[in-house]
Amino acid sequence: MSDSKKILFLINILGGIAVVGSYAWGLSTHDNASTLLWGGVPGWIRPYYTLGMLMATLGYFGFSYYIFFHLDPNQIRLFGRFRYSAFSIIFTAILLPSACWMPLTFLAIDTANLYLYWLVRIILIIAAFGSFSLMAALLSVTPRKPVGFYYAAVFGSIFFCLQTALLDAVLWGSFFRLP
């Protein structure tokens, strides 16, 4: 395995543990966590939101599989000039804010701090930007082999973008209110 793949793998392992760990911490330390986290998101939207989370998770695994197992770090180019290592920056821009979201949201709720509320909104925008960067990188990658896995990765990145940008940064951010 190349050094750039090892670094990206490490970012995904540590970042994944941080995201899942932050969620486990948040859900185990707040009795009414799900109610608090939905904030003002209307009940009729929640089933679609939940479906979006499932599709985004499947998409994440799909594009990650393609990036790890089908892209050769020595041959690919992103945007015609960047190397495989650019994925490390993109994944960090997704995973780091994602790991911070729940702890900062609960801190904002617990302290009713408007500045923290806006910080939460900003980190959701950063994660959305990372998602768009990932989708754009996949759309620009050359060569695109095998084609079937490539299209599955792009399709998965679209679902992931819809979740992080539309549902998280825009919808949740618009409806969420501090108690």
What distance in Å separates the CA atoms of residue 101 and residue 122, rounded to the nearest whole number?
Answer: 10
pLDDT digit string, tens, across residues 59-111? 999 999 999 999 999 999 999 999 999 999 999 999 999 999 999 999 999 99
* Beta-ladder partners of 77: 142
pLDDT digit string, tens, across residues 5-51? 999 999 999 999 999 999 999 999 998 898 899 988 999 999 999 99
pLDDT of 85: 96
Contact 156, 62 (CB under 8 A): yes
pLDDT digit string, tens, across residues 101-148? 999 999 999 999 999 999 999 999 999 999 999 999 999 999 999 999
pLDDT of 54: 97
pLDDT at 1 over 90: no
Tokens read off for 177: 């209110």
What distance in Å separates the CA atoms of residue 75 and residue 128, rounded to the nearest whole number?
Answer: 28
pLDDT at 179 over 80: no
Q: How many residues does the chain have?
A: 179
